A and B are shown apart, each in its own frame.
Chain A
């Protein structure tokens, strides 16, 4: 029953948003004659309604259905906690995200930050090596010939298959996890950058040839700006993969991190926390993606 009330509050919020929109439009309409004022008000209401039906209603309905389905399944299952129980647990969990009771018991905030740090390291190294490599492969056919068999061979390998090699070489969990992130997120950046270079319009390259530009000038004035949008797509895909892989990698390597935390809570049979972790991973992945989309938009010509 309380679930329903939560939903009502949410839809109530959205309605209030629309009301606010209407009041914003009103002062403009007030200067016009009465008839057109009524008319424009009607149009505003209509536009607001259309916006609500097309944009706001579907995701809310979808989420509502999802939560209801979850509740239904939870009621029939002994172990799966329902949305309300999970929500309560989440409120408690996030009330103190940065506590520290020794290495195996830290707040969710620390776990998230540690995971982000590993992803940042692995992904950063991959970008540092993958993007220049992509440029070389795209620019010089010889490099492309050298690299493409290796890329085709290694790219389809499951990220976790690289973990034993990492553990063997680095003899420690932390660098091994970073290594897995590195190796699994490097491919989209190499490939997208290389494709971007090969897609640089021939007209621009002809300009470079007529001007006899140096390789450095070609890179800074033509290749880099032309490839940037492709590169950003590669970066976006790579960070998606990196965040996808981190949970699995940490489950196996341990330490502080959202993946290990999931495993730890599984051992404690604290299923609410596992569900919370799933949501947290999803939301952070979404935020990373959106942030990079915003950055990518800045580089469109």
Chain B
């Protein structure tokens, strides 16, 4: 029963001017170490809320969350977040943005040379060795998101949390970064939770897809196992019957059973 990441009977309510708004209700989810989970649903279904709860950026109003056997109480570098809008500090170079994280996590145990080495390795891992000393406004959106991923990975988190990480990127850059992320996560054996509204992205990257019902009081509708062998290749999969079937399952859930009324 005790999974690496455990979400038990979680409820999240917000106080609004119109009274209490229940965003999430009775959310139960267990995630194994090394698993890649996608959370998909229509906008407003509370999928980002669920991610923020695991990150500890907000506190659940009911139920409990655990990570590696310990209750989640507040944010911490063991649950690194890749933010949708990259959230790089504009006055720091790519190197310094990552170094800030590395220094925080390893600064007590390691000397400066080691910290710099870790920072460099993280940036090289995402293919940004050449742009290390550039400021965020000097690089493209895709590169910024790479730095965001490098920053999160450099902390060697127990869980990698990705909040629509490629949502703001163009389709070509997105595909490229998805492949990169797949390669990196496979190489590091990371546990990851990704919020997305891109069906292909979810099927391509995930071991399981968590599909959310529509809010208010949203909860997990279905969990879909993606038993496609890894490494996965997007070109080969496009023709693969299993891939097409899985993709169809998610679309069925989103547009037939839980169609969102036009907002």
Chain A residues in contact with chain B, CB under 8 A?
203-204, 206-207, 209-213, 217, 221-222, 225, 301
Bound complex: CA A206 to CA B90 (Å): 15
Bound complex: CA A53 to CA B100 (Å): 52
* B229, chain A: closest CB distance, angstroms: 33
* B146, chain A: closest CB distance, angstroms: 16
- Nearest CB in chain B to that of A301: its residue: B90
- CB pair B89–A221 under 8 Å, yes or no, is yes
- CB pair A211–B87 under 8 Å, yes or no, is no
- CB pair A225–B89 under 8 Å, yes or no, is yes
- CB pair B77–A210 under 8 Å, yes or no, is yes
- Write out the residue numbers on chain B whose beta carbons fall within 8 Å of the beta carbon of A222: 89
B residues contacting the other copy or chain, number (CB 8 A): 21
* A228, chain B: closest CB distance, angstroms: 9
- CB pair B77–A211 under 8 Å, yes or no, is yes
- What are 14 inter-chain pairs, A to B, with CB distance below 8 A? A203-B83, A203-B85, A206-B81, A206-B83, A206-B87, A209-B57, A209-B74, A209-B75, A211-B104, A213-B100, A217-B100, A221-B89, A222-B89, A301-B91
* A72, chain B: closest CB distance, angstroms: 54
- B92 interfacial contact with A, CB 8 Å: yes
- Nearest CB in chain A to that of B97: its residue: A207
Most buried by B among A207, A212, A221: A207
- B55 interfacial contact with A, CB 8 Å: yes
Bound complex: CA A208 to CA B257 (Å): 40
* A207, chain B: closest CB distance, angstroms: 5
Bound complex: CA A210 to CA B72 (Å): 12
- CB pair A212–B104 under 8 Å, yes or no, is yes
A206-B81, A221-B92 known; A211-B101 Cβ under 8 A: yes
Bound complex: CA A203 to CA B137 (Å): 16
- Nearest CB in chain B to that of A228: its residue: B91
Determine which of B83, B91, B104 lies in contact with A213 in the assembled complex, contact meaning CB atoms within 8 Å.
Answer: B104
- B80 interfacial contact with A, CB 8 Å: yes
- Nearest CB in chain A to that of B148: its residue: A207
Interface residues of B in 198-256 (CB under 8 A from A): none
- CB pair B137–A210 under 8 Å, yes or no, is no
- B76 interfacial contact with A, CB 8 Å: yes
- Write out the residue numbers on chain A whose beta carbons fall within 8 Å of the beta carbon of B55: 210
- Write out the residue numbers on chain A whose beta carbons fall within 8 Å of the beta carbon of B155: 211
Consensus secondary structure, chain A interface = helix
- CB pair A210–B100 under 8 Å, yes or no, is no
- B79 interfacial contact with A, CB 8 Å: yes
- Write out the residue numbers on chain B whose beta carbons fall within 8 Å of the beta carbon of A212: 75-77, 104
A203-B83, A217-B104, A221-B100 known; A210-B89 Cβ under 8 A: no
A203-B83, A217-B100, A217-B104 known; A210-B75 Cβ under 8 A: yes
Bound complex: CA A204 to CA B81 (Å): 12
- Write out the residue numbers on chain A whose beta carbons fall within 8 Å of the beta carbon of B89: 204, 207, 221-222, 225
- CB pair B85–A210 under 8 Å, yes or no, is no
Interface residues of B in 93-151 (CB under 8 A from A): 100-101, 104, 137
* B74, chain A: closest CB distance, angstroms: 8
* B256, chain A: closest CB distance, angstroms: 36
- Write out the residue numbers on chain B whose beta carbons fall within 8 Å of the beta carbon of A211: 77, 100-101, 104, 155
Beyond contacts A204-B89, A210-B55: 11 other A-B pairs, Cβ-Cβ < 8 A, are A203-B83, A204-B87, A209-B74, A209-B75, A210-B81, A211-B100, A212-B104, A213-B100, A217-B104, A225-B91, A301-B91
- Nearest CB in chain A to that of B92: its residue: A221
* A110, chain B: closest CB distance, angstroms: 42
- Nearest CB in chain A to that of B81: its residue: A210
* B36, chain A: closest CB distance, angstroms: 20
- Nearest CB in chain A to that of B84: its residue: A203
Bound complex: CA A67 to CA B57 (Å): 64
A213-B104, A301-B137 known; A207-B77 Cβ under 8 A: no
- Write out the residue numbers on chain A whose beta carbons fall within 8 Å of the beta carbon of B90: 301
- Write out the residue numbers on chain A whose beta carbons fall within 8 Å of the beta carbon of B85: 203
Bound complex: CA A217 to CA B83 (Å): 20
A212-B76, A212-B77, A221-B92 known; A207-B104 Cβ under 8 A: no
- Nearest CB in chain A to that of B91: its residue: A225
Bound complex: CA A204 to CA B85 (Å): 11
* A218, chain B: closest CB distance, angstroms: 11
Most buried by B among A203, A206, A210, A225: A210
Bound complex: CA A288 to CA B76 (Å): 46
- Write out the residue numbers on chain A whose beta carbons fall within 8 Å of the beta carbon of B100: 211, 213, 217, 221
Most buried by A among B74, B91, B92: B91
- Nearest CB in chain B to that of A221: its residue: B100
* A172, chain B: closest CB distance, angstroms: 44
- Write out the residue numbers on chain B whose beta carbons fall within 8 Å of the beta carbon of A301: 90-91, 137
Bound complex: CA A213 to CA B85 (Å): 20
